Amino acid sequence: MVRKIKGFTFIELVVVIAIIAILLAIVVPNYSKWREKYYLEQDVRNLASFINMARKKAFTEKINLNIDINGKTACIICNPADTYCNSQYYGNIKCIDFKNDIGSYSVSISTRGTLNNITIFPTKLIDGAFACLKISTFRVKLGVINGTICEIK
């Protein structure tokens, strides 16, 4: 009597599960590192866009602005010395949130759209990540973290 058995044996099933477990052990840590780097780069790119948006606002409306970065939040506020801006806006003009802690920084923007020179590093540094900003008088440039240095690429 010939029996045709359809299906998998227990040993075949265990071998396949072991192979999947080995592949997951290799893939999951790399995915976690990639995801952490991606979110950090995304936060810094959003901050650069936010600073440029505030710069345009200061220039077009001829107001002095400050960007206060505190941890996971950045807010555009009127410079306390600018009475016109303070009469037009009350409190925070606009705020954005980040997934990572950026640190505590303050960026000043004049009515001509000029910025104060500053380098912004997030509190978590990942070598090789585009995750730092070098701000000069007229530009906001994204840099690569190399140890404790922000290199513009």
Residue 79: what pLDDT?
A: 92
Residue 29: what pLDDT?
A: 83
Residue 1: what pLDDT?
A: 61
Residue 111: what pLDDT?
A: 92
Query: Residue ranges per domain, the chain?
Result: 10-152
CATH architecture for the domain at 10-152: 3-Layer(bab) Sandwich (3.55)
Low-confidence ranges of the chain (pLDDT < 50): none
Residue 31: what pLDDT?
A: 86
Q: Please state, rounded to an integer, the average pLDDT across all residues of the chain.
A: 89
Residue count of the chain, please give it. 153
Residue 76: what pLDDT?
A: 95
Residue 99: what pLDDT?
A: 93
